[in-house]
Amino acid sequence: MDVKVSEICEHRFLLYNKDATQHLFEVSAGLDSLVLGEGQILAQVRQVVKAGEGVLGLGRNISGLFKHAITVGKRVRTETDIAAGAVSVSSAAVELAFMKLPESSHTTARMLVVGAGKMGKLVIKHLVAKGCTKMVVVNRSEEKVAAIREEMKGVEIIYRPFTDMLACSAEADVIFTSTASETPLFSKEHVKDLPPVSSEVGGLRLFIDISVPRNVGSCVTDVEGAQVYNVDDLKEVVAANKEDRLRKAMEAQAIITEELKQFEAWRDSLETVPTIKKLRAYADRIRLAELEKCLSKMGEDIPKKTRKAVDDLSRGIVNKLLHGPMQHLRCDGNDSRTLNEALENMNALNRMFGLESDLSLVEQKIRAKVEQSQK
């Protein structure tokens, strides 16, 4: 596909530093999605990390950023449960059906979907997501049903023409309707002659009508053993769930703010890595030189066990001596005091041990961080 860079640039937006991090965290948490909290975006962020493994340019900073974003996404969904609750009519229809059915019948209830258009297909997808593995779909033509069947591998989707609709309804416990018919498909006369459903599914045949205009006549509610729900009923569920998700989104923002500070602290700590490496290398050179002097004084016939014991001793001493300085080079990032101390400690170590570290870039970054935190 030959797309000019100029055309791509028309649709881009650029964010830098903290703004870019916060945006990625919000995307991963599902706060930037059309449907708040939807889970597909988190899977896409995971795919980015997987695709970037071993790719030049995806260094420690970027890799760490995306991995932290995945952690944020998982934490938001776990602690706020933001993805719970249907926020579309089709998902609400399926959620309502499972709420009304006894839990013991969730995997055995007989499902019928009338209409295989856009809404019907979404109902089928939500049914599959709920664990439904078999259903009957009534449609004018088999073409759309066949396409859905091809997409939903491992699910038994049985096609029936409209002429079989009433016969299929007689064998169904839950009936979803989503056609463009201008007149009702089910009337009181149609439904009253249907055989009763089993007590195992609650003793009521559920008609869940998500069509506008309605596919199920209002008079069907008068039929004993039938229960009808329409779009108006579902819209109340959707509206309540959307409000709930907005409240949870505010909780998610608090989590993101906390995680943002943690990530910036980790990223800031990387600035001290060159100094840490040089200090360790400096200490190790001294250790090896002194170790060689010690071993040479002990003679040539030193047992391997003794040689290893002396080597381990020298490493242990160096590690214990370096532990304190290393800890003070860690840049916590939570307040300006810690950041100032990190800069002072790096300069002090550079002067004391002649590490010749180029601290100008680090100093600029940390001073900028200090100034920002003091605003």
Based on the domain organization, do 217 and 205 belong to the same domain?
yes
For residue 335, pLDDT over 70 is answered with: no
Q: Residue 107 maps to which CATH number?
A: 3.40.50.720
Selected residue with higher pLDDT from 107 and 327: 107
**What integer pLDDT is reported at residue 362 of this predicted model?**
55
Query: Would residue 68 count as lying in a domain?
Result: yes
Which of 77-91, 306-320, 334-348 has the highest average model confidence (pLDDT)? 306-320
Selected residue with higher pLDDT from 112 and 1: 112
Based on the domain organization, do 191 and 77 belong to the same domain?
no
Number of domains in the chain: 3
Based on the domain organization, do 58 and 172 belong to the same domain?
no
**What integer pLDDT is reported at residue 236 of this predicted model?**
76
Q: What is the pLDDT of residues 152-197, one digit of tens each?
A: 989 999 999 999 999 999 999 999 999 999 999 999 999 999 999 9
Query: Would residue 264 count as lying in a domain?
Result: no
Q: What is the pLDDT of residues 263-273, one digit of tens each?
A: 887 787 676 77
Based on the domain organization, do 101 and 221 belong to the same domain?
yes
3-state helix/strand/coil string of the chain? CCCCHHHHHCCCCCCCHHHHHHHHHHHHCCCCCCCCCCCHHHHHHHHHHHHHCCCCCCCHHHHHHHHHHHHHHHHHHHHHCCCCCCCCHHHHHHHHHHHHCCHHHCCCCCEEEECCCHHHHHHHHHHHHCCCCEEEEECCCCHHHHHHHHHCCCCEEEEECHHHHHHHHHCCCEEEECCCCCCCCECHHHHHCCCCCCHHHCCCEEEEECCCCCCECHHHHHCCCEEEECHHHHHHHHHHHHHHHHHHHHHHHHHHHHHHHHHHHHHHHHCCHHHHHHHHHHHHHHHHHHHHHHHHHCCCCCCHHHHHHHHHHHHHHHHHHHHHHHHHHCCCCCCHHHHHHHHHHHHHHHHHHCCCCCCHHHHHHHHHHHHHHHC
Range of the structural domain that residue 316 is part of = 271-373
Q: Please give the annotated binding residues for NADP(+), written as ranges.
A: 115-120
Based on the domain organization, do 114 and 234 belong to the same domain?
yes
Based on the domain organization, do 25 and 127 belong to the same domain?
no
Based on the domain organization, do 324 and 227 belong to the same domain?
no
**What integer pLDDT is reported at residue 347 of this predicted model?**
76
Q: What is the pLDDT of residues 199-250, one digit of tens each?
A: 999 999 999 999 989 999 999 999 999 999 999 888 877 887 888 888 899 9
Q: Please give the annotated binding residues, written as ranges.
A: 115-120
What is the rounded average pLDDT for all residues in the chain? 86
Q: What is the pLDDT of residues 57-75, one digit of tens each?
A: 778 888 889 999 999 999 9
Query: Would residue 166 count as lying in a domain?
Result: yes
Query: What's the whole-model pTM score?
Result: 0.57
**What integer pLDDT is reported at residue 43 of this predicted model?**
87
**What integer pLDDT is reported at residue 364 of this predicted model?**
59
**What integer pLDDT is reported at residue 366 of this predicted model?**
56
